[in-house]
Structure 1
């Protein structure tokens, strides 16, 4: 059972009560029904963990069903990405993936049944007229002039719609419910519209397509879904869900709504995420700065960290904003426990040990994980010329400086204590090399009299692996980029420092064998993984060792 399925919530309380009363004979069948019009994001991860987790909890099953009723915006690419994401998160769906389009014949028959019962009619109002007739939240709508057509006339027109006689938008089929309903969703909603477009599953068989609300409830019914779990935005649609199933006298799943996941510093609208991709603000849907599951996977997030995050935020009935720091904490916690350690110098400065023999090399054995002996060890070569990070040297040491400075000593991680004796600069005054001496008696010990300023990481220059390291940060620098800001859009809050690149990083040689996507802690730098797409030695920063944003905000 996954982490997300272990704890109870108000949904499991409903299911427990159903099971106690014998409803559905103790059967639990859920579904995850994404529209294949984009890549899944962190909000979908919560729904995946909830639906699949509940099925696991009750030894039931969960269907993966694509609600593919809008072929203009859908693609096989999105379908395949969704399958990968669900599997990567650690879940398996029952049987083969299902499609709403599998039921198009039955849905068409259901629509005909409503027409024959006088519960649906063909309407010719255009979009502007439809809005006018619909009314407002304070004023009731008014009946369409086409509302009183006979069932025979409506059937004839609907068949002509199906046969391609009319252009897109020329006619629609509407349910006949109540134009005075206080719930706008019940004011004769459209249930079929004309679209002369190729469908990725059914080809050119259809030129009329059912609307989402009509399709969703009937797909649930046809599959025998016991508990139709969805986000709060569908709460106002539940009366239509119930009306459709009751009017057609079908199996009636119970729709249960929960609060969607809202993260600060994040945008999860698929339309806006697509805009980021289409306009080139990010590389692609799987850009590691994106809140998509594929982006987080490429950045180095683990399935366990996302499942644990979804479990911790819980399932509630009221909307709230979750601090993205909770997600970052979840991945830090997982990688701290499971990621091997390695040394990487992102902004290298050359160090020459002037008293180290020219032809000498040593191999130091370092542990892969300080808290886990079972993680084993690795061999790290040492030689006369090294690289350390530019951030680890100051010629004149600031107060409480714990790294290398002129005429001061520092310990190399797993190695010797060295002392900086001379600084070499280029014509522009930049430090390009440090001349240091090492003490051969300090390997693993601190002889009396030594007070090294701290411990820094390093890489043997002779053995270093060249790499490009991308330092990712949050994509947006505003806590609520998606909120209404006068004269601005969410694009105005893109963080210009969301990606920096260390073009000439130097890695210890063990990292040459790093598998793409596998996390490492680069000691004192953060958590990184080798990129899943680019060839060569390209690494992405998953997350820093600590939440640097909290410190920045505190100072502000």
Structure 2
């Protein structure tokens, strides 16, 4: 066993299996793989699998392969290949050696299919899709044999070659494994292992018009790559029987330490969909702006919203690895990013619903410069310069003509402290035709600059602000849950559970220094929440900030 076995690691049933395999000598090293389909963007559920597979390999000083399961060219795209690579690297992981593709093994897979045919364990079947379903049986009734099941080996070899040469139409026939049509497990009732598809492949071009099925491809690819522990989610639990059956009947994979499949529970997150098909429906119907919409659970969407790779890794660590299906509270994910940003995010001021505050007794024609901490608890982050002048913007919610004692903001005739600046007193205000406050007129005390005023005056309220002449206009995209129900997958249609207020756009101002804010880097906008500059739409000339997470749980 390696030195890492002495380290303190969170225990789970997969690690226990690995520990036992290393102890017994069944395996001398750990080799895992992450096998995404390049037919969409990765989401937070895939992040759990990435952290598990790559994390285990790292902890045991082993290797983890990135292998694209590219057996369905009609739904795949090279852009997805590139985005998945970026997501894995962004999460902080690096695959072993070169990137792998299931299509790298198409020649091998074809030869293994021929081996099964020669052993009388596979046959070409001409039942159409409806007939195949009928012959397959049900969960309570066994299937019945295809009339083509007993075709001779010689004829099956000839028919399979004709399939390869494109002499049959799509759907006209398929190669099926000959297992057991009476099996209680549907996946073992003579499953299709090759089908005809006249589709251009992003890796192999037009070389093939027959493509292997996932269950046939996956186990063989694992075995070829000498994967020690093949980790899958629970929906593949029954398919483990087919995984083992294929390898049991191929001569090259009879070693006692060959790869084995182990299943763990997938990530089910409240108020979130994990189905690629349903997520794609959101995109196609323009219910979101794309796969990287910040309301989407995709890694690209979370990244655009300001989530960090460390917070996602921490979330995957906290939820653990079990065989028990459960629903994870979305508050746990929010807590991971909120805790990180509270400790590390630079502070700044932004006003999302601005009204003007005029300090009538402010004597300077030009703004003065005030120094404020970048982070209140991290002196090493330094200070930032804020402009302060006669006219500033405050949030409309921070002023009332009258209020009770619980209201700790600006009230007519009362005082409040401006964050990092002076104490001001509201004297009067203007309204528009609808009665909305537009301007508040104040006086200020020039002896009260900073946190420790010379006169020792205690003021209950502190509000944020932005100086008017140096303020930068900005758009704020305030995101909340995309769905109003904790388990949207339970509903017949997405539309009935969509949250119409999952995105609220506000036009406001930010302090001048944020004109150069890096995209995806979250700032704490004091008293507002954590926001980051949008990685697609924001620029120095057109500032756009996305809400990462509120300052506290608000749902």
Do they fold alike, i.e. is TM over 0.5? yes
Q: What per-residue deviation string (whole Å, max 9, x for no partner) do you get for residues 28-55 of structure 1? A: 1100000111100000000000000000
Partner of 2:433: 427
Separation in structure 1 between the aligned mates of residue 72 and residue 483 of structure 2, nearest angstrom: 30
**Residue in structure 1 matched with residue 147 of structure 2 by the alignment:** 145
Query: Separation in 1 of the partners of 2:427 and 2:209?
Result: 80
Distance 2:11 2:152 in 1: 51
Inter-partner Cα distance in structure 1 for 2:111 and 2:456: 90
1:507 aligns to what? 510
Deviation at 1:91, TM superposition (A): 0.2
Q: 1:7 aligns with which of 6, 10, 14?
A: 10
Contact 2:354–2:509 at 8 Å: present in 1 too? yes
3-state SS of 2:384 partner: strand
Whole-Å separation in 1 of the counterparts to 2:472 and 2:538 = 14
CA shift for structure 1 position 452: 2.6
Task: Give the distance between the partners of 1:482 and 1:163, measured in 2 at CA.
Answer: 42
Of 48, 51, 69 in structure 1, the residue corresponding to residue 50 of structure 2 is 48
Kept after mapping to 1: 8 A contact 2:448/2:455: no
Number of equivalenced pairs: 542
- Deviations for 1:492-549, whole angstroms, at most 9, x for unmatched residues? 211111001112x111111112111111000000001011111421110000011111
Contact 1:43 1:262 in 2 (8 A): yes
Summarize deviations over 1:141-175 as a string: whole Å, max 9, x none: 00000000000000000000000001100000000
| 8 Å Cα contact 2:538-2:545 kept in structure 1 | no
Aligned residue for 1:387? 393
**Whole-Å separation in 2 of the counterparts to 1:522 and 1:368:** 11
- Distance in 1 separating the partners of 2:9 and 2:78: 34
- Which residue among 311, 314, 317 is the counterpart of 2:323? 317
SS where residue 80 of structure 2 aligns?
Answer: helix
Distance in 2, matches of 1:337 and 1:156, equals: 68
Distance 1:371 1:450 in 2: 24
Deviations along 1:412-452, one digit per CA (max 9) or x if unpaired, are: 00110000101111223221111111011111335668453
Q: 1:534 pairs with 532, 537, 541, which one?
A: 537
* Aligned partner of residue 495 in structure 2, secondary structure: helix
What is the rounded CA distance, in whole Å, between the counterparts of 2:473 and 2:54 in structure 1?
Answer: 43
Mapping 1:472-491, distance limit 5 Å? 472-483=479-490, 485=491, 488-491=492-495
Q: Unpaired segments of 5 or more residues in structure 1?
A: 550-556
Aligned match of 2:177: 175
Cα distance in 2, alignment partners of residues 398 and 106 from structure 1: 77
**1:265-304 map, 5 Å:** 265-304=271-310
Please give the residue correspondences for 1:431-450 in structure 2 after superposition, counting only pairs within 5 Å: 431-444=437-450, 445-446=452-453, 450=457
| Worse-superposed segment, 122-131 or 372-381 | 372-381
Per the alignment, residue 476 of structure 2 pairs with 469
Question: Structure 1 residues 363 and 5, CA, compared in 2 at 3 Å: closer, same or farther?
Answer: farther
Q: Distance in 1 between matches of 2:413 and 2:242?
A: 78
State how far apart, in whole Å, the 1-side matches of 2:8 and 2:336 are. 17
The match for 1:131 among 130, 133, 148 is 133
- What is the rounded CA distance, in whole Å, between the counterparts of 1:145 and 1:163 in structure 2? 24
* Whole-Å separation in 2 of the counterparts to 1:370 and 1:523: 11
